[in-house]
């Protein structure tokens, strides 16, 4: 047996692992281009498939936060050259999500630094691995909040990769499936992604306006569909920011009667222009009495701590409130707010690849896209401050041509 293993290692300088007679074997070799992993799938000693993975990397300009307290600044990362099922994407645009701020400032805990945020990515395919069948050079594609998952659990098999039992691989602030290679997001000029974790951007949506659909879009579309919003339902969207303004557009496109609940009275005109039928400024506490039991559905997109009970009381009997905003601090819940009118409180997390594609196609069909303010990358710290003040109409999008 030893002779067999030695034989298959001949010619592979640096071979460090033995290959079993049946199954997948890996061994490494060094060339001038870097370290490569060769995998052979064998059945009874016969090589059925040979795949060579390159570990060569591509130096890539990016913007990173080095710690929770530091502003974003220029940084260089390494992207892997495409493995057989990988696609190399030149990034054109990347949206700026409030989750980028939460994570870059470690507001949820456990952040990994240095961090290159960005999970609303639009780009162009510039290279594909040897086994890629879904994409070709020149395709315009999207990458959202995750770039891999365990692919075997019930959630993955159901196309709900965001709920992967083994944990999805976040586009940034996470680790690859090896558990040690950090992932870096879209505040960079290119990214290498597995072909199964990318989206097709339908023609007709301006690319900078498509970027926010990859997170803000799917995060609001998915709960409206999943929890069964119906035409004519009275839906309230709480918080008119990046997510909220997409919630208004989807609610309107799905035929619901949409009301915006906002703590910024100055957003009334915008809300109506975006497709809302009504607007309520929440600064006046009387509105919580005047509008009690009014809505069938509430989509709560607020990024800061607020009183869930006050909003639950605005639900009709059997109404549902879905949380998508993720405030830093927990908020108490009073049981009667749910019990007295058999209300439901739920949460929702982005959406799977299949549903994200469905949402993008829905947008192309219904003329839905994000309202954006395009910025150069050097304005990113200012953009974070403006977002915190609610001073964005309604999503910042970075033009990556500004990063060299
Ligand atoms: P954003 O653009 O900053 O919008 C948040 C909105 O919340 C603001 O525009 C504001 O709307 C409202 N708001 C902010 N501070 C408030 C306060 N102190 N009191 C009441 N309302 C306040 O943020 P975003 O990108 O839409 O993200 C919103 C939240 O969703 C974040 O927590 C983010 O992490 C989370 N998120 C969740 C998912 C998911 O899968 N569940 C995905 C992406 C993002 P008004 O001015 O109209 O009141
Ligand atoms: Zn996001």
Note the pLDDT of residue 161: 98
The dihedrals phi and psi of 182, each to the nearest 5 degrees, come to -70, 150
Residue of 223, 241, 274 with the most ligand 1 atoms within 8 Å of its CB, for mutation? 241
Q: Given this model, what pLDDT does residue 186 score? A: 98
Ligand nearest the Cα atom of residue 307:
1
Nearest CA to ligand 1 atom 15: 304
- The pTM of the full predicted model, rounded to 2 decimals, is 0.89
Instruction: Reduce the DSSP state of residue 112 to 3 states and report it.
Output: coil
Element (H, E) at 4: helix 2-9
| 281 CB within 6 A, ligand 1 | no
Return the SS3 of 259.
Answer: strand
Residue 153 to residue 172: CA distance in whole angstroms: 22
Q: Dmax over Cα atoms in the chain, in whole Å?
A: 84
The sign of the torsion formed by the CA atoms of 220, 226, 227, 232 equals: positive
Distances in Å between the Cα of 228 and the Cα atoms of 223, 254, 317 are: 8, 10, 16
The verdict on the CB of residue 282 being under 6 Å from ligand 1 is no
**Residue nearest to ligand 1 atom 9, measured at CA:** 241
Does residue 215's CB lie within 6 angstroms of at least one atom of ligand 1?
Answer: yes
Mutate to test the pocket of ligand 1, among 390, 394, 396, 397 (most ligand atoms within 8 A of CB): 390
Question: According to the model, what pLDDT value does residue 56 have?
Answer: 80
96 lines ligand 1 (CB under 6 A): no
- pLDDT at position 404 is 82
What is the rounded CA–CA span in Å between residue 323 and residue 141?
29
- Nearest protein CA to atom 27 of ligand 1, as residue: 98
The candidate with the shortest Cα–Cα distance to 29, out of 17, 19, 37, is 37
Neighbours of 114 (CB within 10 A): 16
pLDDT value, residue 38: 44
Q: What DSSP assignment string belongs to 294-362?
A: -EEEEEE---S---HHHHHTTEEEEEEEEE----SS-----HHHHHTTT-EEEE-----HHHHHHHHHH
Distance between CA 316 and CA 294 in Å, rounded? 6
- Only one residue has tokens 């982005």, namely 350
3-class DSSP state of 203: coil
CA-closest residue to ligand 1 atom 10: 239
Neighbours of 371 (CB within 10 A): 17
Q: Based on C-alpha coordinates, what's the Rg of the chain?
A: 24
Could you count the other beta carbons within 10 Å of the beta carbon of residue 104? 26
Contacts of 335 (CB under 8 A, 6+ apart): none
pLDDT, tens only, 220-248: 999 999 999 999 999 999 999 999 999 99
Q: Which H/E stretch holds residue 243?
A: helix 242-253
- Is any atom of ligand 1 closer than 6 Å to the C-beta of 105? no
**In angstroms, rounded to a whole number, what is the distance separating the alpha carbons of residues 47 and 49?**
6
Which ligand is in closest contact with the Cα of 102? 1
Residues of the chain with pLDDT under 50: 1-51
- Asked whether the beta carbons of 95 and 57 are under 8 A apart, the reply is no
How far CA 184 is from CA of 116, 325, 360, in Å, comes to: 5, 23, 24
Residue 54: its pLDDT value, please? Answer: 58
- CA-closest residue to ligand 1 atom 11: 239
**What pLDDT is attached to residue 48?**
44
Task: Return the pLDDT at 219.
Answer: 98
261 lines ligand 1 (CB under 6 A): no
Q: Please give the distance, rounded to the nearest whole angstrom, from the Cα atom of residue 215 to the centre of ligand 2.
A: 5
CA-CA distance, 235 to 116, in Å (whole number)?
Answer: 36
DSSP percent split of the chain into helix, strand, coil, nearest 5: 25, 30, 40
pLDDT digits (tens, 9 = 90+) for 38-49: 444 444 444 444
């Amino acid at each position: 047996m030893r002779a067999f293993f030695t034989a298959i290692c001949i010619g592979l300088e640096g071979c460090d692992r033995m290959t079993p007679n049946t199954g997948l074997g890996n061994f490494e070799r060094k060339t001038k281009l870097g370290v490569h992993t060769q995998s052979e799938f064998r059945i009874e000693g016969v090589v059925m498939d040979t795949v060579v993975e390159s570990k060569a990397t591509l130096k890539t300009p990016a913007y990173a936060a080095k710690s929770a307290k530091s502003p974003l600044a220029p940084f260089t990362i390494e992207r892997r050259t495409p493995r057989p099922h990988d696609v190399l994407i030149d990034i054109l645009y990347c949206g700026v999500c409030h989750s980028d701020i939460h994570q870059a400032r470690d507001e949820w805990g456990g952040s990994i630094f240095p961090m290159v945020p960005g999970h609303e990515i639009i780009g162009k395919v510039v290279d594909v691995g040897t086994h890629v069948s879904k994409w070709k050079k020149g395709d315009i594609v999207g990458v959202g909040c995750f770039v891999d998952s365990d692919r075997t659990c019930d959630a993955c098999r159901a196309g709900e990769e965001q709920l992967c039992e083994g944990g999805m691989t976040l586009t940034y602030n996470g680790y690859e499936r090896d558990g040690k290679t950090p992932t870096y997001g879209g505040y960079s000029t290119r990214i290498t992604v597995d072909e199964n974790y990318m989206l097709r951007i339908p023609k007709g949506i301006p690319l900078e306006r498509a970027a926010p659909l990859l997170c803000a879009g799917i995060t609001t579309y998915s709960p409206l569909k999943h929890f069964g919003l119906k035409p004519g339902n009275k839906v309230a969207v709480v918080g008119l920011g990046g997510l909220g303004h997409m919630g208004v557009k989807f609610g309107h496109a799905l035929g619901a009667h949409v009301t915006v609940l906002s703590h910024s009275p100055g957003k009334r005109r915008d809300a109506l222009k975006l497709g809302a039928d009504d607007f309520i400024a929440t600064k006046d506490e009387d509105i919580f009495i005047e509008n009690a039991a009014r809505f069938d559905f509430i989509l709560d997109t607020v990024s800061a701590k607020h009183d869930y009970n006050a909003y639950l009381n605005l639900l009709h009997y059997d109404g549902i409130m879905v949380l998508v905003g993720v405030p830093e601090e927990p908020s108490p819940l009073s049981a009667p707010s749910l019990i007295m009118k058999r209300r439901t409180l739920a949460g929702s997390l982005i959406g799977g690849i299949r549903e994200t594609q469905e949402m993008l196609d829905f947008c192309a069909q219904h003329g839905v896209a994000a309202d954006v303010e395009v910025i150069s990358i050097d304005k990113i710290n200012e953009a974070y401050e403006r977002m915190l003040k609610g001073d964005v109409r309604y999503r910042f999008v970075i033009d990556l041509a500004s990063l060299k």
